[in-house]
């Protein structure tokens, strides 16, 4: 067992957990933040994407001890005070989700992209999002949602 | 009148899904819950000699270890041929042999490793063409004892044949003699994974008094209830199935999966809830996939391009078990020659047992597989005849007045495949040659472009008694809750049902709520969420339920407003007197009943109920295959332009147009969503998706690196979606199902374009760069 301090969505946490678990398990099983999904546990699908010290990361590929002292943002922190972010709103408006299982990871990858590059081109979006798999939407609506959100966020 | 059908309407579940609040199976934790792990077979075909569970049982925290020799149950939807755990022999790599429940997942994983199993390997049956021979080793030795739906399926015990469906029409042999041209080709397709991002998770609690509660990631809650109760001889009323949000299914979550096994574990653990979430590797190796297909197609035509005879043999690689697969061979027989008017037809469609992962329903239910061969064959025939392939198709397509190969009459309401084909062919100018400059450029760069078009069709394949129902409750404030028994696992059915209710009741759509998830104790019955049947059957049930509710509102309104019933109407969430609209009564004042000043009370809470059942379906004649299994046909077509890099073998989709005759567009954005998603899934099947085994039948593709689905990088550069609207007579507002159709015929249209670009005729899938390169080298 090991004690880990971390900040998730601006809240500080202190967790006792086994050394070998991943950040994904820590979030889902220990902090009960189940918005972040597990699709493969092997860094291959992006369903578990969170923002880890400012960068998009697959939570299933981060060991819990590496998260000691880290600042993590998850899907649960994306809406503020019950109000959806423009990115979330845009996903709904552009039908960028169907089953929704990839959606939290998609939104976190897109969030990291927009934080680093507020006006990405379609190619830059594809490039940044390539690690996030979706079996339902065909990706097109997701790109549109991110493009439109970028426009909206810049305008705001 | 406000219009809710057609454009607009955002997803009913958008907010839950973009915030991470939507609860999927994996997110559920119950008090006292244990964690399960399965132990699977490392052999494709082996006798189980001995199983030693003592070490696993001794591990602290282990609550139950189960093998097929302790307790077992047989399951299967159409053909009951599968035990929850292999007991005597294993029939595929990845088959469950034992299972553990423990306090934590780590302990369960460790315990499963400690189970010792001794196997005696048997020769695996891996090739359908060998498996179908009478001399082949048997995958199931005693298949004559298996239960199956008699009269619908036709197994051949003693051979590896789980079902043979025949279609006989006219006289093919005579027609082939008459034909000016006869061509014959064999097309091969590997098995394919469904790959929903969410694996098949299940929690079962086998409570006291045999009251069983199942939470499961399933497409068909009532089928799970039915098959579970049947398997364990329990009354349906004792089995409760709860389906939360489901992370994609594509057919793979239809039927029943690990629920019986996890149920037995829970029973062993004194009724504590047990949760099983398979790893991605288990999801690949253990759960069913799409069947492979070897298709031999022989076609005869006159020199002016009329197809007069077709003989088809489909060998479906059903894998180790055929519970669902038998119905795919049946559906494959009905659709065997595509949407063409052919007088002389002979079809044998056979589900073959092999020692591979077993097959189940997959988006398109056999049609994507059939259409690879059939639509390749059409282009090859056109080439043989020196005809334009679009012309050849138009000359032979089913038109009103024609009969399908199973004898179904096509009417002007059935849908128009010719219109779909013409539309996409025009959009892409299929048939128009490239300019000499363009051709010179192809030569220079080694990147050749070409176009092609193909058609598609699909109808649901379901039992004659397949039914749906819906309940509409009006709340105190006039808002509405709808419950149905079918699942929205992403396809958007619930949003369409909301639209239907809004239109019917003239209530703003925001005031109509779809109860999320399905619970068989509380939701009305629905056969299964498969076959693109929800919009039609469940949609009709919602229409009827809304009409029932409307009648009750009018009744109440007319009494309270003291007007005859025919003189009142609904509008703006009120019942009003037609002559005098200012005399009106809001729904909210009457939907829970109405009490007069003197204390007289009338009415009570208003609930509408509706139902619908498939109409006019029959079984097929066992010898000729004549009959009607199609509730409705949805037709469509794709046109494509690709660029083939002849150095690398890479194919790029430059432009594409896809069209379906949807009957009526219910929600434009969602139709587009289904179509774009389906096309991309089809591109995955075309370019990269294939399940591979080694020579011993051990699965090689066990993760998302070895098994590649389409990513952001694989999108077509341009994709235009279009619709034809020939209203379906019995569809709600004329609509038909479209969920599965977009991915049908994609493989064929690309292979045809590849041949047009390079001359390389490919007869098997996938068209991965290395295989295309190899084919080009042969040219
Ligand atoms: S669960 Fe982490 S990448 Fe798939
Ligand atoms: S919406 Fe289902 S995986 Fe993306």
- Is the pLDDT score of B313 beyond 90? yes
pLDDT band at B576 (very low <50, low <70, confident <90, very high): very high
pLDDT band at B108 (very low <50, low <70, confident <90, very high): very high
Do A68 and A95 lie in one domain? The reply is no
Q: Compute the average pLDDT of residues B683-696.
A: 98
Q: Compute the average pLDDT of residues B143-154.
A: 90
Do A116 and A58 lie in one domain? The reply is no
Can you give the pTM of this predicted structure?
0.96
Going along chain B from its start, the domains and CATH numbers come out as 18-124+197-248+253-286 (3.90.1170.50), 292-462+617-778 (3.30.365.10), 466-613 (3.30.365.10)
Do A45 and A9 lie in one domain? The reply is yes
Do A31 and A94 lie in one domain? The reply is no
Q: Which of A55, A77, A99 is the last residue of a domain?
A: A77
Do A7 and A72 lie in one domain? The reply is yes
Instruction: List C-alpha distances in Å: B760 to B282, B725, B778.
Output: 37, 37, 8
CATH number, residue A14: 3.10.20.30
| Contact in structure between B457 and B742 (CB atoms under 8 Å) | no
Predicted pLDDT at B2: 66
- Is the pLDDT score of B531 beyond 70? no
Least confident residue range of B34-38, B464-468, B624-628: B464-468
Distance from CA of residue A34 to its chain's centroid?
12
Predicted pLDDT at B512: 95
pLDDT band at B372 (very low <50, low <70, confident <90, very high): very high
CB contact under 8 A, A38 and B26: yes
Q: Compute the average pLDDT of residues B371-392.
A: 98
Strands A71-73 and A49-52: antiparallel
CB contact under 8 A, B712 and A132: yes
Find all residues with CB under 8 Å of B217, minimum gap 6, and list them: B24, B25, B198, B199, B200, B201, B202, B243, B244, B246, B247, B253
Q: Is any atom of ligand 2 closer than 6 Å to the C-beta of A95?
A: no
Does the structure's ipTM exceed the value 0.85? yes
CATH number, residue A146: 1.10.150.120
Q: Which of A38, A53, A77 is the last residue of a domain?
A: A77
Q: How many CB atoms lie within 10 A of CB B28?
A: 16
Do A65 and A108 lie in one domain? The reply is no
| Distance separating alpha carbons of residues B497 and B499, to the nearest angstrom | 5
Q: Is any atom of ligand 1 closer than 6 Å to the C-beta of A46?
A: yes
Predicted pLDDT at A156: 43
pLDDT band at B651 (very low <50, low <70, confident <90, very high): very high
pLDDT band at B362 (very low <50, low <70, confident <90, very high): very high
Q: Is any atom of ligand 1 closer than 6 Å to the C-beta of A60?
A: yes
Type and span of the H or E element at B685: helix B668-687
Residue of chain A whose alpha carbon sits nearest to that of B284: A40
pLDDT band at B630 (very low <50, low <70, confident <90, very high): confident
Do A8 and A73 lie in one domain? The reply is yes
| Contact in structure between B406 and B624 (CB atoms under 8 Å) | no
Predicted pLDDT at B1: 58
- Is the pLDDT score of B535 beyond 90? no
Where on the phi/psi map is residue A139: left (φ > 0), alpha (ψ -120 to 50), or beta?
A: left
- Is the pLDDT score of B659 beyond 50? yes
Cβ-Cβ pairs closer than 8 A, A with B, add up to 155
Q: Which of A20, A43, A77 is the last residue of a domain?
A: A77
Distance from CA of residue B508 to its chain's centroid?
32
| Contact in structure between A107 and A78 (CB atoms under 8 Å) | yes
Q: Compute the average pLDDT of residues B25-36.
A: 98
Give A85-130 as a DSSP string: -HHHHHHHHTT--SS-SSHHHHHHHHHHHHHH-SS--HHHHHHHHT
* Token pair 């923002």: residue: A51
Do A31 and A70 lie in one domain? The reply is yes
- Sign (positive/negative) of CA torsion B137, B289, B79, B24? positive
* Most A CBs within 10 Å, among B18, B676, B742, to test the A interface: B18
Predicted pLDDT at B587: 95
Q: How many CB atoms lie within 10 A of CB B584?
A: 19
Average pLDDT, chain B: 95
Least confident residue range of A141-155, B345-359, B510-524: A141-155
Q: What is the pLDDT of residues B152-167, one digit of tens each?
A: 999 999 999 999 999 9
Strands B518-519 and B447-458: unpaired
Residues of A in contact with B290 (CB under 8 A): none
CB contact under 8 A, A101 and B24: yes
- Is the pLDDT score of B148 beyond 80? yes
Angle at B33 between CA B30 and CA B35, to 5 degrees: 130
- C-alpha closest to that of B367 among B167, B635, B43, B710: B635
Q: What is the pLDDT of residues B302-312, one digit of tens each?
A: 999 999 999 99
Instruction: List C-alpha distances in Å: A150 to A74, A94, B280.
Output: 19, 13, 34
Find all residues with CB under 8 Å of B713, minimum gap 6, and list them: A126, A130
Residues of A in contact with B30 (CB under 8 A): none
Predicted pLDDT at A154: 60
Atom of ligand 1 nearest to the CA of A41: 1
Predicted pLDDT at B76: 84
Find all residues with CB under 8 Å of B19, minimum gap 6, and list them: A35, A75, A76, A78, A79, A84, A88
Which domain does A106 fall in, by range?
86-155
- Total domains in the fold of chain A: 2
Do A73 and A27 lie in one domain? The reply is yes
| Distance separating alpha carbons of residues B661 and B642, to the nearest angstrom | 24
- Is the pLDDT score of B403 beyond 90? yes
Q: Is omega for the bond preceding B766 within 30 degrees of 0, making it cis?
A: yes
Q: What is the pLDDT of residues B187-246, one digit of tens each?
A: 999 999 999 999 999 999 999 999 999 999 999 999 999 999 999 999 999 999 999 999
What crossing angle do the helices spanning B417-427 and B389-396 adopt, rounded to 10°?
A: 170
| Residue spans of chain A under pLDDT 50 | 156
Do A46 and A103 lie in one domain? The reply is no
Do A97 and A151 lie in one domain? The reply is yes
Percent of chain B's residues with pLDDT above 70: 99
């Amino acid at each position: 067992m090991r004690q880990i301090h971390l900040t998730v969505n601006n809240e500080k946490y202190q967790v006792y957990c086994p050394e070998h678990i991943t950040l994904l398990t820590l979030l889902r099983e220990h902090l009960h933040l189940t918005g972040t999904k597990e699709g493969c546990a092997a860094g291959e699908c992006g369903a578990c994407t969170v923002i880890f010290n400012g960068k998009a990361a697959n939570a299933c590929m981060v060991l819990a001890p590496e998260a000691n002292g880290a600042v993590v943002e998850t899907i649960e922190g994306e809406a503020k005070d019950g109000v959806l972010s423009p990115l979330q709103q845009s996903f709904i408006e552009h039908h960028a989700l169907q089953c929704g299982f990839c959606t939290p990871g998609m939104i976190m990858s897109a969030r990291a992209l927009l934080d680093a590059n507020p006006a990405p081109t379609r190619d830059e979006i594809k490039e940044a999002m390539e690690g996030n798999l979706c079996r339902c939407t065909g990706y097109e609506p997701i790109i549109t949602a991110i493009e439109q959100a970028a426009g909206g966020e810049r305008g705001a | 009148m406000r219009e809710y059908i057609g454009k607009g309407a955002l997803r009913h579940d958008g907010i839950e899904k973009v915030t991470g609040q939507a609860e999927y199976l994996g997110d559920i934790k119950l008090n006292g819950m244990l964690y399960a792990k399965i132990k699977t077979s490392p052999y494709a075909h082996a006798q189980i000699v001995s199983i030693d569970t003592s070490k696993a049982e001794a591990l602290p925290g282990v609550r139950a270890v189960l093998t097929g020799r302790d307790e077992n149950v047989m399951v299967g939807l159409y053909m009951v041929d599968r035990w929850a755990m292999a007991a005597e022999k294993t029939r595929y790599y990845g088959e469950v042999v034992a299972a553990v429940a423990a306090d934590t997942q780590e302990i369960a994983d460790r315990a499963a490793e400690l189970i010792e199993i001794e196997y005696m390997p048997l020769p695996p049956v891996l090739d359908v063409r060998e498996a179908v021979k009478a001399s082949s080793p048997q995958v199931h030795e005693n298949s004559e004892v298996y239960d199956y739906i008699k009269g619908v399926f036709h197994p051949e015990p003693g051979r590896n044949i789980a079902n043979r469906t025949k279609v006989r029409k006219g006289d093919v042999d005579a027609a082939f003699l008459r034909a000016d041209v006869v061509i014959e080709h064999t097309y091969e397709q590997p098995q394919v994974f469904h790959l929903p991002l969410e694996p098949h998770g299940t929690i079962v609690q086998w409570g006291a008094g045999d009251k069983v509660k199942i939470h499961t990631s399933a497409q068909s809650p009532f089928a799970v209830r039915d098959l579970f109760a049947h398997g364990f001889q329990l009354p349906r009323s004792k089995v409760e199935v709860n389906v939360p949000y489901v992370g994609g299914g594509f057919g793979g979550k239809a039927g029943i999966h690990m629920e019986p096994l996890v149920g037995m574990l829970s029973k062993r653990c004194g009724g504590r809830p047990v949760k099983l979430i398979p790893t991605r590797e288990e999801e690949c190796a253990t759960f069913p996939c799409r069947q492979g297909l070897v298709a031999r197609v022989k076609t005869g035509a006159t020199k002016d391009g009329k197809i007069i005879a077709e003989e088809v043999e489909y060998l479906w690689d059903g894998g180790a078990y055929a519970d669902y697969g038998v119905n795919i061979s049946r559906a494959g027989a009905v659709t065997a020659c595509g949407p063409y008017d052919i007088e002389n037809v002979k079809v044998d469609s056979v589900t073959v047992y092999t020692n591979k992962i077993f097959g189940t329903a997959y988006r398109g239910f056999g049609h994507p597989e059939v259409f690879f061969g059939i639509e390749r064959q059409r282009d090859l025939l056109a080439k043989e005849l020196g005809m334009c392939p679009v012309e050849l198709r138009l000359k032979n397509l089913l038109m009103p007045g024609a009969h399908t190969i199973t004898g179904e009459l096509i009417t002007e309401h059935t849908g128009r495949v010719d219109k779909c084909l013409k539309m996409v062919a025009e959009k892409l100018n299929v048939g128009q040659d490239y300019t000499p400059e363009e051709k010179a450029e192809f030569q220079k760069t080694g990147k050749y472009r070409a176009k092609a078009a193909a058609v598609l069709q699909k109808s649901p394949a379901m039992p004659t008694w397949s039914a749906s129902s819906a309940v509409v409750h009006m709340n105190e404030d006039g808002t509405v809750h709808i419950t149905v028994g079918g699942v929205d696992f992403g396809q958007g059915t619930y949003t369409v049902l909301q639209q239907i209710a809004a239109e019917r009741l003239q209530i703003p759509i925001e005031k109509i709520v779809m109860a999320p998830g399905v619970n068989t104790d509380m939701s009305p019955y629905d056969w299964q969420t498969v076959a693109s049947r929800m919009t039609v059957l469940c949609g009709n049930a919602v229409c009827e339920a809304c009409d029932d509710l409307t009648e009750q509102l009018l009744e109440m309104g007319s009494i309270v407003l003291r007007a005859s019933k025919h003189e009142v109407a609904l509008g703006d969430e009120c019942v009003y007197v037609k002559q005098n609209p200012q005399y009106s009564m809001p729904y909210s004042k009457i939907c829970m009943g109405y009490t007069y000043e003197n204390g007289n009370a009338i009415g009570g809470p208003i609930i509408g109920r509706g139902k619908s059942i498939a109409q006019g379906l029959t079984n097929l004649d066992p010898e000729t295959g004549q009959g009607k299994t199609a509730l409705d046909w949805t037709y469509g077509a794709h046109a494509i332009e690709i660029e083939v890099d002849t150095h690398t073998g890479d194919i790029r989709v430059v432009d594409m147009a896809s069209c379906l005759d949807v009957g009526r567009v219910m929600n434009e954005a969602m139709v587009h969503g289904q179509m774009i998603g389906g096309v991309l899934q089809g591109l995955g099947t075309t370019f990269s998706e294939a399940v591979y085994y080694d020579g011993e039948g051990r699965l090689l593709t066990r993760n998302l690196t070895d098994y590649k689905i389409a990513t952001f990088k694989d999108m077509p550069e341009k994709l235009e979606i279009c619709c034809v609207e020939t209203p379906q007579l019995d569809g709600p507002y004329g609509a038909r199902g479209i969920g599965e159709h977009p991915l049908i015929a994609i493989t064929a249209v690309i292979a045809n374009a590849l041949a047009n670009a390079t001359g390389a005729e490919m007869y098997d899938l996938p068209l991965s760069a290395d295989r295309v390169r190899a084919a080009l080298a042969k040219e």
